[in-house]
Amino acid sequence: QVQLVESGGGLVQAGGSLRLSCVASGRTFSSPAMGWFRQAPGKGREFVAAISWSSDNKIYADFVKGRFTIYRDNAKHTVYLQMNSLKPEDTAVYYCAERFGGYVGQTPSSYDYWGQGTQVTVSS
């Protein structure tokens, strides 16, 4: 079974930076794409960024506007989300997810495995 564990969340001042990490463990028989989603209280899970297995394709939500960067190190089974110029509206629980087939996507239902999330709080 695949397990995904996020880390790197915390409390940060507006304009600051955080780097989230997601480590995958367990048996893997495919070359999956990875994605980051977030969920604020009272809202559904929304897409943030995704990356293909080979890193040749990356997609970002419009609100990123160059602030966030997704990248991965397959040898370490880890995907990262570097978040710069954070805003209070970025406050949410951030989840990583794995998608079979290797294609990037921005629909939560298209992902097969999910981590438990890491809290990001941006103060004004």
- According to the model, what pLDDT value does residue 101 have? 78
Residue 29 pLDDT level (bands cut at 50, 70, 90): low
- According to the model, what pLDDT value does residue 70 have? 98
- According to the model, what pLDDT value does residue 65 have? 75
Residue 18 pLDDT level (bands cut at 50, 70, 90): very high
- According to the model, what pLDDT value does residue 103 have? 84
Report how far residue 7's alpha carbon sits from residue 48's, in angstroms, rounded to the nearest whole number.
Answer: 16
By C-alpha distance, which of 36, 7, 35 is closest to 20? 7
- Whether 10 has a pLDDT exceeding 70, the answer reads yes
Report how far residue 90's alpha carbon sits from residue 123's, in angstroms, rounded to the nearest whole number.
Answer: 10
Lookup: tokens for 26: 């367990």
Lookup: tokens for 71: 């990248």
Looking at this protein, which amino acid is placed at residue 87?
K
Residues 37-66 pLDDT 10s: 999 999 999 999 999 999 999 999 999 879
Phi, psi angle pair for 69, to nearest 5°: -135, 130
Mean pLDDT of the chain: 94
Residues 54-106 pLDDT 10s: 999 999 999 987 999 999 999 999 999 999 999 999 999 999 999 987 789 99
